[in-house]
């Protein structure tokens, strides 16, 4: 079977197997997930390693490990699902580039999903009401999205925690998912580490996987410009001569 034959073909006669990658949080998440014809996702193997400084170094090793753990080879895969953030520029780029290249080499589609959607999807829904999902955006900010009954109703966005507290002051939250240092500002207990699961990431793309939807270019959710660009812009600004207003005061 050629790569072209496999891409976008769809297969309702058997469970489909998906390689999952996410590097949008402080952890690297990889897994092999089996998708049933009705969209149920079951992880055959999963590795979650908290090491935000070595995403590029450990990702390919983890991919090899989960494939071996699941007893699956690349030829057995039907799709690759990649978390597209929001997340920091460098870590997010590593996962997306690797997932896209791997899918292309196998001739199978790669589908991008929102990492926050998967974090929400991994936690049982206790009942109706707004639920907030938070991840670390660094620079004393958080990435966030608001959900109700498993459906995203606001976001994703990036804000300082105190700004977000004020913004959502009139929203009755039934839960806040995230690290304790962020959730406590909303009056909720959090966890030390919050990541999507492999099964939840695959479930977000369940319809595309089931239908064998044509792959589209992965679109990263950076939500702000990368640090390198901002530093370059700052340096350029510092080299510009100061202008003067009508009363002779120096302005920039």
Tokens of 241: 């001569």
Instruction: Say yes or no: 36 and 141 in one domain.
Output: no
The tens digit of pLDDT for each residue in 12-35 reads 568 999 999 999 998 999 999 999
- Burial (CB < 10 A; 0-12, 13-18, 19+), residue 96, is buried
Write the DSSP symbol of residue 76: G
Number of domain units in the chain: 2
Phi and psi at residue 145, to the nearest 5°: -155, 150
Residue 54: pLDDT band (50, 70, 90) is confident
Q: Kindly state whether residue 236 falls inside one of the protein's structural domains.
A: no
The tens digit of pLDDT for each residue in 172-225 reads 999 999 999 999 999 999 999 999 999 999 999 999 999 999 999 999 999 975
Instruction: Say yes or no: 20 and 110 in one domain.
Output: yes
Q: Is the pLDDT of residue 246 over 70?
A: no
Which pLDDT score is estimated for 37? 87
Instruction: Say yes or no: 145 and 110 in one domain.
Output: no
Neighbours of 111 (CB within 10 A): 24
Q: Kindly state whether residue 35 falls inside one of the protein's structural domains.
A: yes
Instruction: Say yes or no: 71 and 23 in one domain.
Output: yes
Q: Tell how strand 130-138 and strand 173-177 pair up.
A: parallel
Instruction: Say yes or no: 40 and 67 in one domain.
Output: yes
Cα–Cα distance measured from residue 159 to residue 88, given in angstroms and rounded to the nearest whole number: 14
Domain containing 95 equals 3-117+195-224
Instruction: Say yes or no: 182 and 211 in one domain.
Output: no
Q: Is the pLDDT of residue 10 over 60?
A: no
Cα–Cα distance measured from residue 98 to residue 239, given in angstroms and rounded to the nearest whole number: 38
Q: Is the pLDDT of residue 50 over 60?
A: yes
Instruction: Say yes or no: 30 and 91 in one domain.
Output: yes
Q: Kindly state whether residue 244 falls inside one of the protein's structural domains.
A: no
64: domain CATH number is 3.30.420.40
- Burial (CB < 10 A; 0-12, 13-18, 19+), residue 23, is buried
Interval 117-146 mean pLDDT: 94
Which pLDDT score is estimated for 156? 97
Q: Is the pLDDT of residue 236 over 70?
A: no
């Amino acid at each position: 079977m050629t790569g072209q034959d496999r891409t976008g073909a769809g297969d309702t006669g058997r469970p489909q197997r998906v390689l999952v990658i996410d590097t949008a949080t402080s952890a690297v998440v990889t897994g092999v997930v089996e998708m049933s014809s009705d969209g149920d996702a079951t992880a055959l193997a999963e590795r979650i390693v908290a090491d935000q400084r070595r995403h590029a170094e450990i990702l390919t090793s983890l991919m090899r490990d989960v494939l071996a753990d699941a007893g699956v080879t690349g030829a057995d895969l039907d799709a690759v699902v990649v978390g597209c953030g929001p997340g920091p520029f460098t870590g997010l780029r590593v996962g997306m580039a690797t997932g896209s290249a791997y899918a292309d080499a196998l001739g199978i589609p790669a589908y991008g999903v929102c990492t926050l959607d998967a974090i929400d999807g991994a936690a049982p829904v206790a009942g109706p009401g707004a639920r907030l999902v938070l991840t670390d955006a660094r620079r004393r900010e958080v990435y966030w999205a608001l959900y109700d009954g498993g459906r995203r109703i606001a976001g994703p966005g990036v804000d300082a925690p105190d700004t977000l507290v004020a913004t959502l002051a009139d929203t009755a939250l039934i839960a806040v998912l995230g690290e304790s240092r962020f959730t406590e500002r909303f009056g909720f207990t959090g966890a030390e580490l919050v990541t999507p699961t492999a099964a939840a990431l695959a479930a977000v793309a369940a319809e595309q996987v089931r239908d064998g939807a044509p792959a589209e270019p992965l679109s990263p959710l950076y939500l702000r410009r990368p640090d390198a660009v901002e530093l370059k812009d700052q340096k350029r600004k510092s080299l510009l001569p100061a202008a003067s207003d009508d009363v002779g005061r120096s302005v920039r």
